[in-house]
Amino acid sequence: MNSVWALLASIALIRTTLSNYLPEKLRLYISARFEEWTRRFNTDETMVFKDYQSSKMNQLFQAANLYLGESLPTISIPCVTVEKTENVRNLTFSMEKNTEMIDVYENIPMKWKYFSEYSQGMSKHEIRWYELSFHKEYKSLVTKCYLPYILERANKIKERNRVVQLHTAAHDFWTPKPVIIQHPMTFETLAMDGNLKKELVEDLDRFMNSKEYYQQIGKVWKRGYLLYGPPGTGKSSLIAAMANHLNFDIYNLNLSAVSSDFVLQNLLLSTANRSILVIEDIDCSIKFQNRESGIEQPIKYQQQNKVTLSGLLNFFDGILSCCGEGKILVATTNYKDRIDPALLRAGRMDMHIYLTYCTFSAFKQLALRYLEISDHSLFHHIQKLLPKVKVSPAEVAGELMKTRDPKASIEGLIKHLEEKLIADGNSEVSPKHHSSLSQTSNCQVHESSISLPLACNGASMDNVKSSGPKPDVSVKSKLTADGEGDNNFEKTDLVRDRSSGHNILQVIEDMEKELLSYKEAIIALQKKLCRTLNKLAEIKATI
């Protein structure tokens, strides 16, 4: 024991002597040689990952932070930092300074240490770094496999934990503080045609898993979708479902607010990777001419356009579109035929999705979601009415939400559809009524898609009460059954009618009043018929 203390004392004396009497350069040289000599007997290798390298954030440090944080809840470690911010979905874990943990990769232990200290000087700031230690024989494995694996895992953790945000453009730049999107719409709750929904989800998943394939065939890893159809058919809801499915941020761009093609290019360059760029109502936001329509664009629109068609085409698939990866472009329109075909070709709009009014397939999805039923005895009424009524899925959902009782809810929807059917046909009458009304009043009536069981087989409408006066026979005889004026009915006839004391204008007004009264009577009878049919359906359902 005494010999050990003597040895230590000798080493301390030698070290003190060298420090006091040897020049600094010589001391550093001897120290470096000594470390090199001792390293030969050391079997471990150490790598250092600082938080900043040349004033730029070190991606390996960030990746190690995410990767190790995911494992911290499952291992025993004395102290762990836990935090939750609004920009992440889940809790995040990190190591406290001067602590260490062991990670196992391919059955090889990897020792991680975390350090933190404040810099010296006037502006003190925190300096953080990780030290990774492993056996030197695994150095090639660490650099070629382990570190790339950490980067890949960290990207997946980051994508999984981040919340979806909405970015909007203002004054030729994206707003610095995006809004967190808390839209609950998903493909599970989205009401649209089942086959179309399945096709779209498979296309999105296939795109997300095809990064290497795109690189292999030499194409930019991006995708374009055109959503078109009548207003209120769920185009915006579909975009929200896509963003939640992919966990992508949304960049909403209004082309009319973009001042030039140059600004449009800068906006594209500043969008993040793995994001959705949305141009809603592309046919309305800026007046582009459809060159194949043969219609010349008005000069006032040519002067107002700040973004040109050429600039937009380059925006879609020009050289600048190669900057970034995993980007999705979604354009919406109510009128596909108003868009120049050059914007619609593959490579710009790869998939065209037509969103129509509510179909029976979409209704069944809504019924399952809102009423928790997959079938009902009244479903066949809905199936017959939906092809005849222009009603959006959102409108159907609103009717189903009025009550939780399935029978009452479906009956309410049937009533709503029937009333909407009547309202849509108010300005027209069916072919049957066209013939009967022609025989009664000898004047033309427009056709309608609604068929009424009234005045059939030439039956007269005289039983229908009318408050208006009867039209003058001498004038009605001048009109044919198809509404065309008789060839002999000319100005001289009008003069003759006036001279005989008949005011032709008054007669026409009286005829119009009488026809309006017929119309009101038909609507009243039509509503009564619908109520009767509903009662019959209820009786049938109880049998």
pLDDT recorded at residue 488: 42
Residue 519 inside a domain? The answer is: no
Spatial distance between the Cα atoms of 454 and 436, rounded to a whole number of angstroms: 9
199: domain CATH number? 3.40.50.300
- Are 225 and 314 in a shared domain? yes
Given this model, what pLDDT does residue 38 score? Answer: 64
For residue 338, pLDDT beyond 60? yes
Q: At what angle do helices 504-542 and 406-424 cross, to 10 degrees?
A: 160
Paired residues of 131 in beta bridges:
48, 113
Measured distance between the N- and C-terminal CA atoms of the chain, rounded to whole angstroms: 105
Q: What is the DSSP pairing of strand 222-228 with strand 327-333?
A: parallel
Helix (H) or strand (E) holding 47: strand 44-50
Mean pLDDT of 204-211: 93
Residue 468 has pLDDT above 60, yes or no: no
**Distance (Å, rounded) from C-alpha 207 to C-alpha 197?**
15
Burial label, 112 (beta-carbon count in 10 A; 0-12, 13-18, 19+): buried
- Please tell me whether residue 100 adopts helix, strand or coil conformation: strand
Which segment, 43-47, 234-238, 300-304, 502-506, is predicted with the most confidence on average? 234-238
Do 64 and 93 sit in the same domain of this protein?
yes
Per-residue pLDDT at 35 = 67
Residue 462: helix, strand or coil by DSSP?
coil
Q: Judge if 178 and 312 occupy the same domain.
A: yes
Whether residue 271 is found in the same domain as residue 181: yes
Question: Is the model more confident about 6 or about 250?
Answer: 250
In percent, the amount of the chain with pLDDT more than 90 equals 21
**Does residue 437 belong to any structural domain of this protein?**
no
Specify the higher pLDDT residue, 416 or 3. 416
Q: 242 pLDDT exceeds 90?
A: yes
Is residue 495 situated within a structural domain?
Answer: no
Neighbour-count burial of 327, counting CB atoms closer than 10 A to its CB (0-12 exposed, 13-18 middle, 19+ buried): buried
Question: Worst-scoring range by mean pLDDT, 29-33, 228-232, 317-321, 472-476?
Answer: 472-476
pTM for the structure as a whole: 0.62
Same-domain check for residues 109 and 206: no
342: in domain: yes
- For residue 533, pLDDT over 90 is answered with no
Same domain, 286 and 340: yes
Q: Is residue 236 part of a domain?
A: yes
The answer to whether position 450 is within a domain reads no
Model confidence at 10: pLDDT above 80: no
Q: Which helix (H) or strand (E) holds 379?
A: helix 379-385
Mean pLDDT, all residues of the chain: 76
What's the rounded Cα separation, in Å, for the pair 67 and 539? 65
Both 154 and 280 in a single domain?
A: no
Could you give the number of structural domains in the chain? 3
Higher-confidence position of 292 and 113:
113
Q: Would strands 249-252 and 275-279 be described as parallel, antiparallel, or unpaired?
A: parallel
Position with higher pLDDT, 122 vs 528: 528
In a domain, 217, yes or no: yes
Domain boundary among the residues 370, 402, 424 is at 424
The domain boundary, picked from 333, 354, 375, lies at 354
Paired with 351 in beta bridges are 225
Say yes or no: 202 and 334 in one domain.
yes
The β-bridge relationship of strands 249-252 and 165-170 is: parallel
Higher pLDDT, 271 or 84: 271
Domain containing 257: what range? Answer: 165-290+306-354
> Is 242 found in the same domain as 113?
no
Is 204's pLDDT higher than 90? yes
State whether 179 and 133 are in the same domain. no
- Domain membership of residue 19 (yes or no) is no
Determine the average pLDDT of the residues in 322-332: 88
